[in-house]
Chain A
Amino acid sequence: MQLTSSPRKSTLVLAFAAISLAAGARADGGVDLTTSLYHDAGGGLKMTVLTPSLTIDGTIADALTLRAGYEADIVSGASVAVVDAPGGAVDAITSATTLNDIRHTASAGFTLHSDFADLSVDYAYGTESDYQSHGFSVSAHSELFERNTTFDISYARGFDRACALNQPRAQEAVDRQRLPSSTGCFSADDRTYFKLDLSTFQGSWTQAWAPVFTTQFTLTAQILNGFQGSPYRAVWLGRSAAMENPPENRARYAAGLSARLWVKPLHGALQLSGRVYRDSWDLRSVTAEGAYEQTISGGLRLRGRVRFYDQTAAVFFSDNYVRQPRGQYFTGDRELSSMRNITYGLRLVYDLPPGEDGDVLGIFDGFRIVAKADLIRFDFRAFHYGGADVPNTDALALTLGLTSRF
């Protein structure tokens, strides 16, 4: 996009213009500010996560895009510390412990562009009081056959560390105590950490089959090695409770197929997708989603959708490890039980129209507002807190996003 001589626009793109002028090249850029809120509550349990994020990018001479971002997860809530502890169903939930934490993630990356291919490299660093992560990714994008066929491949590598209680005398998993708090993590002598290494491969093929029909097929494989539980959560094993102990290795595979069909008479798009998943913990799932997005007028679009998800339990999951142990492993993670959920969602997107001078609001090349609301209903049919059903099964997710291009 050509850099214009508008004084206000020049102010906004000052950083990129300086680089561009030095290189004698064109530049454009964008700023995205998006905030999401997730909330579920029920019984004595609740969880609220506020996620604000800021992303800035700039493209120089259509050849190089630089980007940087920041995201936070502000978490507050109450969760069960010892799953299935004796004392009755009520105690198991009313004894829930409160938690408050903030995760900060900073990211940066670049993309090299050519006529029919892009190559991207990204890095992200995340830190919170009890967790640290480094993530690297390399991805390539290629367009073939008059841009009707697109291939994307990516490889991501993660190096994470989770805080835990230092227990040199606890040689066996059943002797390990849960982490009582994040105080002293990564600094005090009575704290240690567990490592988690992640490798993720993904490939996708997007194909335009007709002027009104396109599909996307995606394959993902992920290999994890390290601690994959919560250091805060313990499971009652009969005589005592111990920090949950899932297997250290996990291989995950997923395949997804999405299709979009333009409905000419309605001037809208039908969006369908499905996914199957399986991993080496023998957890299997299916996901199906149907959506319809209607262009109302100009840049205003409304989408309604329904998403259905169903999974089986991990092979070592038990709702009661005292009566039904599963070998050497044990977990109190309800997301590893057989469960399903259904999501009802609405999304409104509004692209502000340009003025007479061609700019939006006299400053931008484009300005988009996104408002989104999802109601998620969970069904934990095989998970109980000491005999009591999971109380917080309804969740609300809200998102507001502002994106500008200049």
Chain B
Amino acid sequence: MVDSPSSSDRKALSGRRTGRSVRRALVVIACVASALVWGAGCVTVRPSDKEFLSDPSMTFGNEGTAGAHEQHVTSNREGSFGAGSVTGGGCGCN
């Protein structure tokens, strides 16, 4: 008769499974990212075709200081952070 695993054993098993899942996800992400970057190298937009891409409304991060102020407001009013520009410290107490 096989004993059922204890609570700590189940947690350890669950932890190992989670670790494997994370590693598997990282490998998949790395493969997809590599494929995309490799594919990106095949994409060629000639400089003469960049008229629209160089328009300010097509440029990421073109909000300048106004955008930084907005991020300062949202980072103090929401529990999330990131996937924008890197910001410094600040209290956020209020």
Interface residues, chain A, CB within 8 Å of chain B? Answer: 32, 34, 36, 38, 47, 49, 51, 53, 55, 73, 75, 77, 79, 99, 101, 103, 105, 107, 124, 126, 128, 130-131, 133-135, 137, 139, 144-149, 154, 156, 158-160, 162, 196, 198, 200, 202, 205-212, 214, 216, 218-222, 230-233, 252-256, 258, 260, 262, 264, 268-269, 271, 275, 277, 279, 283, 285, 287, 293, 295, 301, 303, 309, 311, 314, 335-336, 339, 341, 347, 349, 370, 372, 374, 376, 378, 395, 397, 399, 401, 403
Contact = CB atoms under 8 A, between A and B. Distances in A.
Contacts of A378: 77
A207 B82 contact: no
A133 to B, nearest CB: 3
B86 A156 contact: yes
22 contacts: A32-B65, A49-B73, A51-B69, A77-B94, A107-B88, A124-B88, A130-B91, A131-B93, A134-B89, A145-B40, A148-B40, A148-B44, A162-B91, A214-B60, A221-B82, A275-B83, A279-B79, A285-B78, A301-B57, A311-B78, A347-B66, A399-B66
A255 B88 contact: no
B78 A335 contact: yes
Given A230-B93, A339-B78, 5 more contacts: A75-B94, A103-B90, A301-B56, A341-B77, A349-B56
Interface of B: 37, 40-41, 43-47, 49-53, 55-58, 60, 64-66, 69-70, 72-74, 76-91, 93-94
Contacts of A370: 64, 66
Query: Lowest 4 CB-CB distances: which A-B pairs, in order?
Result: A256-B83, A220-B82, A133-B89, A254-B82
Contact of B43 (A126, A148, A200, A293): A148
A374 B89 CA distance: 24
A154 B90 contact: no
A34 B80 contact: no
Contact of B64 (A154, A214, A403): A403
Contacts of A49: 73, 94
Nearest to A146: B44
A258 B60 contact: yes
A135 B88 contact: yes
A271 B57 contact: yes
Nearest to A378: B77
B84 A145 contact: no
B40 A210 contact: no
Contacts of A309: 74, 78, 80
A126 B90 contact: yes
A156 B88 contact: yes
B78 A208 contact: no
Contacts of A253: 82
A268 B93 CA distance: 40
A211 B53 contact: yes
Nearest to A53: B65
Contacts of A287: 80
Given A32-B65, A269-B58, A145 B86 contact: no
B94 A401 contact: no
B83 A220 contact: yes
Nearest to A259: B60
Contacts of A47: 94
Contacts of B87: 156
B66 A146 contact: no
Contacts of A134: 89
B58 A260 contact: yes
A95 to B, nearest CB: 17
A277 B83 contact: yes
Contacts of A128: 91
Given A51-B72, A295-B57, A232 B93 contact: yes
A257 to B, nearest CB: 9
A295 B55 contact: yes
A148 B45 contact: yes
Contacts of B90: 73, 103, 126, 131, 133
A145 B69 CA distance: 33
Contacts of A148: 40, 43-45
A55 B65 contact: yes
Given A208-B45, A295-B55, A372 B66 contact: yes
B83 A126 contact: no
A130 B46 CA distance: 54
B79 A260 contact: no
